[in-house]
Structures are given as C-alpha cells and as structure tokens.
C-alpha cells in the first residue's frame, strides 16, 4: 500500500492510499472490463481486501458472502437462507459462490432495500422480491420431501416417486414451480432450500396452502399408519395453524463474522 490520491481502478472511489495494479492482479485475472475507472493506476484498500484475501483461509473467492457497512459474513447455505429471508441492515451485498472459482466479491450490487434486492448468483445478478422468494422457497422445501433438487430443477421426475408422493399432490406442486423453471431465480431458491423433514408439516401445507384433499390421495400421505410413524416427533405440534416460516436451524452463526476494517 502506498500513498496515492485518485479514484480506484476497480470501484472508482476516491482514495488516499492504494496498491499498484500489477501488485493486485495476477496474470490470470480476466475481469478488466469490471473497472469503473479504467484509467486508474491504483486499487483502493477495500478492493484490495476483497481480491487479495482469496489466498487466505477465508478467501472471498471461494465463499459465498454477505456484507454491509459493519460486517462481512461468510455464511454456509443454511445461514445464507437466513440472510436471504432476513437481509442485514442496508446497504448490503449478497454474493453466492457457485463454482467457487471466480472472483465475485467485487461484482456484487449494493442494495438499499430489504424487500427487493439483487443477489449475485456467481456472476449473474438475480432480482429477489422477498415475498415471491419466500413463497417459492416454502413450496420447494415441502416439495423436496418427495423429490430431489435435480428433479425439481429439471422437471424430469422419477415415475415411482410421483406415485409414492401422490399424483394430485405432485401436480399441485409442479404447477407452482413450473413457471420458474430455467430461471436464475429458481437457481437461487435451490441454492439455499432445505428439505422439510416432518411429514405432518407437509400434509398441513398441502391442505392449507395447496388446497389438496388428502382424503382422496392414495399412497403414503394418507395411510392411517403414518400417524404412528410421525408420532416420534411428539404429537403436540400437529396443528396446521401455527405455520412456521422459520428455518430448521434458525440460529445464525456469527462466528465467521469479521469486522470490516
Ligand atoms: Zn476500490
């Protein structure tokens, strides 16, 4: 880092200290078109941080990350799910590392709203309307009870699993997911979706949200013996009223939270 007055090559922000370009970028760096100030000769401390920490244990390049003005988090997928459902104080950025190979930290878009925001799915900006996101995530997490992520993503389902799940039920779920198939929005949902584990919860969701008549359903979803099977979780919570939007593991770990500067 040396004294330098001017705008950062990468982000365009004014700085008093910075690093020369050739000290920051390696020969294999290819994102030159990302420069906000292409004639700049130096990179600011914040950009240096996001690029040069890739060799450290918590390299930004290989981890999904969430950052606001106070913190940088490197969440796992369960924690990332929480962040998407309850974003931090704006302004914030959210980057999902998919290949874990590309530089994504400095490409994130800055968000000023918690209701509508953009996350980077690798290098693809994806607009998240929180209400819509919650709805699709809930559907997918219940759908995952009977199907794999690949099936839901591709639309190619195992016939046997459809029969096991119940054709009507499968259809009702599929109808909700279909419009999003092939969109990066569904990719983001899939990235963080956690399968629900409780069959009673699935049944409640089918009845209350998808208006499925379980009496007419054939296979395992309506067999009386399932009552006994699901009883192991404790019978007290089998009412459909208290629908929880919370995560299976809601404790958001901050152990990876690092102070930014
Ligand atoms: Zn910068």
CA of 68 to the centre of ligand 1 (A): 15
Confidence check: pLDDT of 24 > 80: yes
| SS3 of residue 39 by DSSP | coil
Per the listing, tokens 């990332």 go with: 80
Output phi, psi for 112, to 5 deg. -120, 0
| Weakest-pLDDT range from 68-82, 138-152, 223-237 | 223-237
Q: With beta carbons less than 8 A apart as the criterion, state whether 83 and 73 touch.
A: yes
CA of 35 to the centre of ligand 1 (A): 9
Structure tokens that stand for 166 in this block: 């119940």
| SS3 of residue 62 by DSSP | helix
Structure tokens that stand for 247 in this block: 């995560």
pLDDT in tens, 152-184: 999 999 999 999 999 999 999 999 999 999 999
CA of 191 to the centre of ligand 1 (A): 29
CA of 34 to the centre of ligand 1 (A): 11
CA of 10 to the centre of ligand 1 (A): 5
CA of 15 to the centre of ligand 1 (A): 8
The single-letter DSSP state of residue 114 is S
Residues 53-86 as b/e (b if ≥16 CB within 10 A, e otherwise) read: beeeeebbbebbbbbbeebbbbbeebbbbbbbbe
CA of 160 to the centre of ligand 1 (A): 54
pTM over 0.85: no
pLDDT in tens, 134-157: 999 999 999 999 999 999 999 999
CA of 109 to the centre of ligand 1 (A): 14
Residues 146-175 as b/e (b if ≥16 CB within 10 A, e otherwise) read: bbeeebbbeeebeeeebeebbebbbebbbe
* Residue 104's pLDDT band (cuts 50, 70, 90): confident
pLDDT in tens, 30-53: 888 888 999 999 999 988 888 887
Q: Which helix (H) or strand (E) segment is 214 a member of?
A: none
CA of 259 to the centre of ligand 1 (A): 18
CA nearest neighbour of 80 among 93, 91, 69: 93
């Amino acid at each position: 880092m040396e004294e330098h007055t001017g705008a950062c090559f990468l982000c365009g922000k004014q700085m008093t200290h910075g690093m020369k370009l050739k000290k920051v970028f390696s020969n294999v760096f290819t994102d030159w078109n990302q420069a906000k100030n292409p004639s700049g000769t130096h990179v600011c401390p914040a950009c240096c941080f996001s690029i040069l920490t890739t060799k450290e244990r918590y390299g930004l390049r290989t981890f999904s990350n969430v950052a606001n003005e106070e913190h940088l988090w490197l969440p796992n997928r369960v924690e990332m799910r929480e962040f998407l459902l309850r974003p931090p104080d704006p302004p914030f950025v959210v980057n999902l590392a998919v290949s874990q190979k590309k530089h994504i930290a400095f490409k994130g878009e800055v968000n000023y709203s918690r209701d509508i925001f953009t996350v980077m799915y690798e290098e693809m900006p994806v607009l998240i309307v929180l209400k819509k996101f919650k709805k699709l995530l809930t559907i997918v997490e219940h759908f995952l009870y009977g199907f794999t992520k690949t099936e839901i993503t591709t639309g190619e389902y195992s016939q046997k699993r459809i029969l096991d799940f119940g054709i009507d039920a499968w259809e009702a779920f599929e109808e909700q997911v279909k419009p999003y198939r092939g969109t990066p929005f569904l990719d983001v949902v899939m990235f963080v979706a956690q399968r629900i584990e409780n069959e009673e919860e699935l049944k409640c969701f089918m009845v209350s949200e998808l208006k499925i008549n379980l009496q007419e359903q054939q296979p395992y979803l309506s067999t009386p013996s399932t009552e006994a099977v699901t009883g192991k979780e404790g019978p007290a919570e089998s009412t459909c009223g208290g629908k929880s939007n919370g995560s299976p593991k809601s404790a958001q770990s901050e152990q990876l939270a690092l102070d930014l500067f």
